[in-house]
Each structure stands twice: as C-alpha cells, then as structure tokens.
C-alpha cells in the first residue's frame, strides 16, 4: 500500500487483539520490549513489526493502562481516559507495506505529517468520519484543523516550541537518561501529567491516535507529546493522527488528488 501522506513516514497499521479474538499469527510480529508505545511505533516505522503484550513497556506509565495492557490500579492509572478495557492480550504494529496477510486487516492506521496533510485528510473523509471531542488540546487538534472549534493559538505555539526543544535535547545522552528516570516513576509522572494536560499534547500516539479512533470509529489528530518526540523520534513540526482502517481505504486513492 502506498504512503497516504507522501511524507518520509510510511503509514503504520495497528491491530488490537482482545482475549476473545483470534490469536496472533506465529512469527508475524517481533515481541516488543522497551520504553514506550511511541518507541514500538518507531521500530515498526523502520521495518520491524512489533507485538506489545502486558509487560512489554518498561518505562512509560501512561500507555500500558491506556492500551489495556495493564489493569489500572493507582489513581494515576485510573484517571487516564479514554482507555481500552483490561485485558487486551496484545497490540501489533507494522508498516502497511510490511503488514502480514495472515494477521487480517489492521484496526487503525497511524499517520504522521504536517498540518496541511491532515487538513486534506479531514476534508476528504467528511464530517461524519471525524472525531468531535471536547477540543482539549492535549487530546485533539481536529477542531482547530476544521475551523469548527477553539484554535488555542497560544497553547499550540507552546506545544511547538516545547517539542522543538525536546527534539534538540534528545541529542544528548544525559537528557535521555533523565527522561527515562522521570517517566519510570509515578511521582514525577504525576507532575508531568499535570503540566501536559493543561498546556501540551498528552498520550499522543497511544490514546489520541490509537485508542480514540478505535473506540469512536473516527479520525483523530493531535500534536505529539513528550514521548512521541523523545522516544518516538518524530519531527516536532509534525502531527500524529489515527484513521480507522475502513475510512483509510475509502480515502486512500483520493488523498493525493
């Protein structure tokens, strides 16, 4: 399948395996063990299909309960919303170009690109296919992209500035070690979450680009969060979006016209 966006980042499929669903095809994906969902998507983007299971994510405290890979136990985990119900047995991620036929169709297609690409995607998809959330900038930029909700220019400028700084700081090993230390602990994660919820994007690839489209059946787009820049290695001027696979197939051929 061709890259919908025409950007250096290929489209990445995501399939959620629930306990009652079919089993994961043996050998179709590599068992993931690492920092975060964002990092797993980055590995998939580089041509390494990944399979996330309970216990796969060792640092990020946001994505496991959000993806249903961990039961929400603490108040911090229970407050992550929306989230998939526990227990999701696995989440598979792979480029569409690498997607194994035996796995069936993915549920969601993750896209990353500049604002103008997502504006075109939303236009082609139509209003009935677009997430109509509350407009909180930590969850969605759809209202701003469609001109039908608050734009939050000051907050959007802050997100871009901070993401650019995170991209720069990511070149230094000491900073990367510090982020791992901070995100691995619930106390520091709580402080960071308070800031992210109010001033920045939060859970950009796990909640915003995967869970919200999966639960609503609609497209969502947001800025990247700290993890999406630091661990996902995404360009700070890009946005991330999740498109339910049936919608992706409907608009794929027309998006380049």
The DSSP string of 34-70 is BS-HHHHHHHHHTT--EEE-TT-BSS-SSHHHHTTSS
| Cα-to-chain-centroid distance, residue 12 | 10
Rounded to an integer, the average pLDDT of 200-204 is: 81
Query: In angstroms, rounded to a whole number, what is the distance separating the alpha carbons of residues 245 and 101?
Result: 15
| Model confidence, pTM | 0.85
Span 142-183, pLDDT tens digits: 988 888 766 566 666 777 777 676 666 667 677 667 776 666
Which DSSP string corresponds to the chain?
---SS-SSSPPEEEEEEETTSPPPPTTSSEEP-BS-HHHHHHHHHTT--EEE-TT-BSS-SSHHHHTTSS---SHHHHT--S-PPS-EEEEEEEEGGG--GGG---SEEEEEE-HHHHHHHHHHH-GGGB------TTT--HHHHHTSS---HHHHHHHHHHHHHHHHHTT-HHHHHHHHHHHTSHHHHHHHHHHHHHHS--SIIIIIIIIHHHHHSSBEEEE--HHHHHTT---TT-EEEEEEHHHHHHHTTTTT-
* pLDDT reported for residue 226: 83
Tell me the longest C-alpha to C-alpha distance in the chain.
49
Query: Which residues partner with 52 through β-bridges?
Result: 91
90-101 pLDDT per residue, tens: 999 999 999 999
Q: Is the pLDDT of residue 256 over 60?
A: no
Give buried/exposed letters for 188-200 (b at 16+ CB in 10 A, else e).
ebeebbeebbebb
My answer on whether omega of the bond before 159 falls inside 30° of 0, hence cis, is no
pLDDT at 133 over 90: no
* CA end-to-end distance (rounded Å), the chain: 17
Q: Which pLDDT score is estimated for 1?
A: 38
How high is the pLDDT of residue 132?
Answer: 84
Nearest to 224 by CA among 246, 239, 242: 239
The residue among 51 and 155 whose pLDDT is bigger is: 51
Is residue 239 scored above 60 in pLDDT? yes
Phi, psi of 115 (to 5 degrees): -55, -40
Residue 242 has a pLDDT of 97
Q: Look at 62-66, 167-171, 200-204 and tell me which has the smallest mean pLDDT.
A: 167-171
Asked whether residue 58 carries a pLDDT value surpassing 70, the answer given is yes
Q: Is the four-CA dihedral 48, 205, 70, 87 of positive or negative sign? A: negative
């Amino acid at each position: 399948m061709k890259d919908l966006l025409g950007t250096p980042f290929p489209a990445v499929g995501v399939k959620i395996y629930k306990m009652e669903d079919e089993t994961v095809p043996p050998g179709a994906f590599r068992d993931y063990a690492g920092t975060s969902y964002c990092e797993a998507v980055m590995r998939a983007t580089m041509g390494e299909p990944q399979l996330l299971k309970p216990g796969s994510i060792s640092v990020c405290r946001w994505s496991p309960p959000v993806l249903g890979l961990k039961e929400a136990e603490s108040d911090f985990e229970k407050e992550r919303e929306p989230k998939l119900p526990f227990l999701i047995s696995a989440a598979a991620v792979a480029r569409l170009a690498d997607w194994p036929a035996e796995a069936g169709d993915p549920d969601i297609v993750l896209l990353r690109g500049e604002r103008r690409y997502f504006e075109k995607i939303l236009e082609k998809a139509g209003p009935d296919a677009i997430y109509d959330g509350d407009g909180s900038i930590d969850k969605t930029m759809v209202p701003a992209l469609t001109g039908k909700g608050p734009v939050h220019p000051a907050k959007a400028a802050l997100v871009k500035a901070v993401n650019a700084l995170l991209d720069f700081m990511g070149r230094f090993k000491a900073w990367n070690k510090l982020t791992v230390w901070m995100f691995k602990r619930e106390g520091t994660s709580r402080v960071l979450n308070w800031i992210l919820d109010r001033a920045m994007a939060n859970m950009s690839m796990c909640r915003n680009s995967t869970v919200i489209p999966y639960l609503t059946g609609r497209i969502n787009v947001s800025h990247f969060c700290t993890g999406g820049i630091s661990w996902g290695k995404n360009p700070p001027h890009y946005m991330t979006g999740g498109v339910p696979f049936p919608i992706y197939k409907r608009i794929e051929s027309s998006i380049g016209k």
